[in-house]
Amino acid sequence: PPHPAALFVTNELGADMGTVIVAGLAVGLLASLVGGPLFLKVLGERLPFKTVPEAFSDMEIRQEKDLPSLGATLFTVLLPIVLMLIKT
Q: Is residue 69 part of a domain?
A: no
**26-64 pLDDT, tens digit each:** 999 999 999 999 998 998 888 887 787 888 888 888 888
Tell whether 80 is covered by a domain.
Answer: no
- The answer to whether position 67 is within a domain reads no
Mean pLDDT of 75-81: 90
Among residues 24, 33, 15, 8, the alpha carbon closest in space to that of 81 is found at 24
Q: Is the pTM value of this prediction over 0.75?
A: no
Domain presence at residue 23: yes
Do the domain assignments include residue 21? Answer: yes
Residue 85 is assigned to a structural domain of this protein: no
Could you tell me the residue range of the domain that residue 37 belongs to?
1-47
14 φψ region: left (φ > 0), alpha (ψ -120 to 50), beta (else): left
Structural domain total, the chain: 1
Give the distance from CA 49 to its chain's centroid: 22
CA distance linking residue 37 with residue 46, whole number of Å: 14
pLDDT of residue 25 exceeding 70, the answer is yes
**Would you say residue 33 lies in a domain?**
yes
Give residues with Cβ within 8 angstroms of 21, minimum separation 6: 2, 81, 84, 85
